[in-house]
Amino acid sequence: MSEELRTAAETAAEEKVSRNFIELEIDKDLAEGVYDHVQTRFPPEPNGYLHIGHAKSILTNYGLAQQYGGKFNMRFDDTNPTKEKDEFVQSIIADVKWLGADFEDRLFFASDYFGQMYECAVKLIKKGKAFVCDLSADEIRETRGDFNTPGKNSPYRDRSIEENLALFEEMKSGVIADGARVLRAKIDMASPNINMRDPVIYRVAHQSHHRQGDKWCIYPMYDFAHPIEDAIEGITHSICTLEFEDHRPLYDWVVTECEFDPKPRQIEFAKLYLTNVVTGKRYIKKLVEDGIVDGWDDPRLVSIAALRRRGYTPASIKKFVELVGLSKANSSVDSAMLEYCIREDLKMKAPRMMAVLDPVKLVIDNYPEGQTEELPMPLNLENPELGERMLTFGKELWIEREDFMEEPPKKYFRLFPGNEVRLMGAYFVTCTGCEKDADGRVTVVHAAYDPMTKNGMEVGRKVKGTIHWVNAADCKQVTARLYENIVDEEKGKLNEDGSLNLNPNSLTVIDRCFVEPALAQAEAYDSFQFVRNGFFCADCKDSIQGQPVFNRIVSLKSSFKLS
């Protein structure tokens, strides 16, 4: 290791009191001279959209490369043509870039290495370390044994090198039917690790590949392909999730027997799971296919595309991944933590505007007919740098229906007959009564204002309640959407039969939401705090010029506390 790197590693170690277990392993490898640099990769299979779990993997791999002054590769693990599509390649690239993991020109496709993988397979055959096997998939499974019983050698295990070479060539040439023959590594059918019991490394599949077309009809299996991909690219630390821990001996076997030098090293960490949130590609796919959600980017999902559409920022996701940390044990993280991170990110940045989600008319009877006035209001009280906007005020306003009660319970400090409240940034008003329709539903609330309290100033008396409002004369009507978790929180994610336990209230569409005029100019991805109602983001798909549709990113209240 160079002196420079050693110093960098030492300073990093000193600066950060607690280093995670992957950093410790990397420090050790650098100190012992196993590697003289760090190179990581993110290797998605382009068979679906990325989700929050992948974000963890991306930011971890990218973060480590940054931290050690190394390189980060974006590599598509596109070795299984059945499920892979270019649509997914494009969406994955967009998501990784959006998250800020800058791979520059280091974009790779495992399928570009098919030639080298084939050469590796031939090398193994020549070393007597691989053989062509004619057993069917079922027979292979049956002879594999299990945890307690060793497997049985295949009757084809002792074929000569020449015969194996000829048969493998035949597999490649296209004359062998799918499944009729496979190439297997010759390791040890009695190994306590089932992955080492002569695993299949190549199969015949007469399938077009999204990049290679019909060039190949044999495809490498994941456990064989992945270590070779890492080795070819000069990856030092191949970071993956825990389910591959038992595959590590096979990973090491492949890089050793194929004689790669230096050899990449696999390190596993626990997958990220969130409570009350569906992360698995399989489940998301089902929700999309069953039409329960509006595509892979439905804001109720936690695909990266969905989080972006909902209004999450790269910074909030990065913060979340840092808070969660890296672990060797599987566990579920409270989804409230993700919400906490976006609230923290938007708190100071987002303008705070007024929007009424469930409007009822408020008439200020003593306000002069036909009068309007302009009131200045800060865009974010906690962040004066955002400046202010002017709002008009008039005789007729819209307020939230729940901000008036004819017969209030104790500790209700909003409008009820005789009570005075502050209209945010405007005046103090005292409720004088209401009008109702035939069903007893309140249609208009009446109040009187005190002209001395302009801009909401106290004049010798305090009020306990402050409510938001918009001016009926110039407010705009927009659509707002409120979300809850797509699966029922109380009863758990899955029903007994394994189907998803769906929450019927996961989406509420509010067509009659009245907002300050400026909000009608919101562009896709613009985020705001709607005071008292939460953070909202203009939808990138359903908004049209002057007619935004707002998605609630998150409410303002949180049960989550940073411990």
Q: Which is nearer to ligand ATP, 321 or 467 (CB)?
A: 321
Window of 54-62, 186-194, 210-218, 440-448 that interacts with ligand ATP by CB under 6 A: 54-62
Smallest gap from residue 540 Cβ to ligand ATP (A): 23
- Collapse the DSSP code of 150 into the 3-class scheme (helix H, G, I; strand E, B; otherwise coil) and give the result: coil
Exposed, middle or buried: residue 472 (CB in 10 Å: 0-12, 13-18, 19+)?
A: middle
Element (H, E) at 123: helix 114-126
**x/- track of binding to ligand ATP for residues 485-524 (CB under 6 A):** ----------------------------------------
- Residue 551's nearest CA partner among 307, 344, 277 is 307
Q: Are 341 and 320 in contact (CB under 8 A)?
A: yes
Q: Pick the binder of ligand ATP from 29, 35, 39, 56 (CB under 6 A).
A: 56
- Residues 12-41: x where in contact with ligand ATP by CB under 6 A, - otherwise, as a string: ------------------------------
Residue 241 touching ligand ATP (CB under 6 A): yes
Examine residue 238 and tell whether it contacts ligand ATP (CB under 6 A): no
Q: Which residue is nearest to ligand ATP (CB)?
A: 53
Task: In whole angstroms, give the CA distance from residue 180 to residue 397.
Answer: 76
* Of 258, 198, 200, the residue nearest 227 (C-alpha): 258
Taking the least distance from each CB to ligand ATP, the nearer of 229 and 420 is: 229
Q: Shortest Cβ distance from residue 57 to ligand ATP (Å)?
A: 4
User: What is the SS3 assignment for 487?
Assistant: strand
From residue 272, how far is each of 45, 314, 332, 377 by CA, in Å? 18, 17, 7, 42
Comparing C-alpha atoms, which of 188, 327, 222 is closest to residue 269? 327
- The answer to whether 58 and 94 have CB atoms below 8 angstroms apart is no
Size of the site for ligand ATP (CB under 6 A): 14
> Do residues 43 and 229 lie in contact, with contact meaning Cβ atoms separated by under 8 Å?
yes
Q: How many beta carbons lie within 10 A of that of residue 398, not counting itself?
A: 24
C-beta closer to ligand ATP: residue 281 or 476? 281
Q: Which of 54, 75, 209, 263 binds ligand ATP (CB under 6 A)?
A: 54
Contact stretch for ligand ATP (CB under 6 A) within 278-286, 304-312, 480-488, 552-560:
278-286
User: Minimum distance from CB of 225 to ligand ATP (Å)?
Assistant: 12
Is 111 a binder of ligand ATP (CB under 6 A)?
no
User: Residue 493 has which token pair?
Assistant: 């994610």
To ligand ATP, the closest distance from the beta carbon of 277 in angstroms equals 11
Beta pairing, strands 182-185 & 200-204: antiparallel
* Among positions 240, 278, 486, 513, the unique one binding ligand ATP when judged by CB under 6 A: 240
Q: Considering only residues 26, 43, 398, 428, which one is a binding residue for ligand ATP as defined by CB under 6 A?
A: 43
Binding site for ligand ATP (CB under 6 A): 43-45, 53-54, 56-57, 240-241, 271-272, 279-281
